[in-house]
């Protein structure tokens, strides 16, 4: 993968965008962008931190920083499925934040607050959670996927 440093202006805009999206104040001056197979990756201090044009945070980033993301906690049975890339369904959810909205990112955690996946919520997610049936979110990034392996190999 080819990577290059963002200019000071681009890095400042990037830090502002991250602060607005996730409430995280990045102080690093070393922010790089890399492209591979039509996918965009952003590295902060050599750690793969975001991917995609929409700046989806990686689990490596979320383990290091506390980002403001809606979240759900899932049971052990759901952890096994989600860690293999399965979508999230309401029966596996044991607790959730009140700010879960369709079309937004969702942080999926174990009962012990360990991040397992980043997902995109689907239409009707809140109703599914309240009724305890139906699909809540689609998998974007999870422990063990290619992005996880890429960010673990560099950190």
Q: Give the residue-averaged pLDDT of 85-104.
A: 91
Overall residue count recorded for the chain in this entry: 155
Considering the chain, what percentage of its residues have pLDDT values greater than 90? 77
Q: Domains (ranges, CATH) in the chain?
A: 2-66+146-154 (3.10.450.120), 71-142 (2.30.130.10)
Q: Measure the CA–CA gap between 143 and 147, rounded to whole angstroms.
A: 9
Structure-derived torsion over alpha carbons of residues 25, 28, 46, 86, reported in degrees to the nearest 10: 10
How do 105-109 and 71-74 pair as beta strands? parallel
**In the chain, how many H helices and how many E strands?**
5, 11
Banded pLDDT at 154 (limits 50, 70, 90): low
Gap between the Cα atoms of 55 and 22, Å rounded: 10
Q: Which alpha helices (H) appear in 85-138, and where do they start and end?
A: 125-131
* CB 50 within 8 Å of CB 26: no
User: In the predicted model, what is the mean pLDDT of the chain?
Assistant: 92
- pLDDT above 60 for 155: no
What mean pLDDT do residues 8-35 have? 94
The owner of tokens 């080819």 is 2
Mean pLDDT of 7-11: 94
The DSSP secondary-structure symbol of 56 reads E
**For residues 148 and 145, what is the distance between their CA atoms, to the nearest angstrom?**
5
Report the chain's terminal Cα–Cα distance, integer Å: 16
* HEC sequence for 22-38: HCCCCCCCCEEEEEECC
Burial 118-134 (b: 16+ CB within 10 A, else e): bbbbbeebbebbeeeee
């Amino acid at each position: 993968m080819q990577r290059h440093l963002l200019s000071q202006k681009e890095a400042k805009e990037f830090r502002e965008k991250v602060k607005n999206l996730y409430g995280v104040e990045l102080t690093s001056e070393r922010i790089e962008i890399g492209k591979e197979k039509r996918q965009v990756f952003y590295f902060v201090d050599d750690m793969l931190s975001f991917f995609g044009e929409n700046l989806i945070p990686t689990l490596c980033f979320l383990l290091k920083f506390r980002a403001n993301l809606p979240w759900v906690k899932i049971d052990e049975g759901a952890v096994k499925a989600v860690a293999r890339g399965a979508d999230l369904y309401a029966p596996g959810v044991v607790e959730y934040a009140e700010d879960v909205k369709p079309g937004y990112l969702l942080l999926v955690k174990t009962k012990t607050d360990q991040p397992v996946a980043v997902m995109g919520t689907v239409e009707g997610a809140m109703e599914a959670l309240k009724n305890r049936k139906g699909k809540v979110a689609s998998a974007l990034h999870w422990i063990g996927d290619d992005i996880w392996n890429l960010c673990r190999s560099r950190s």
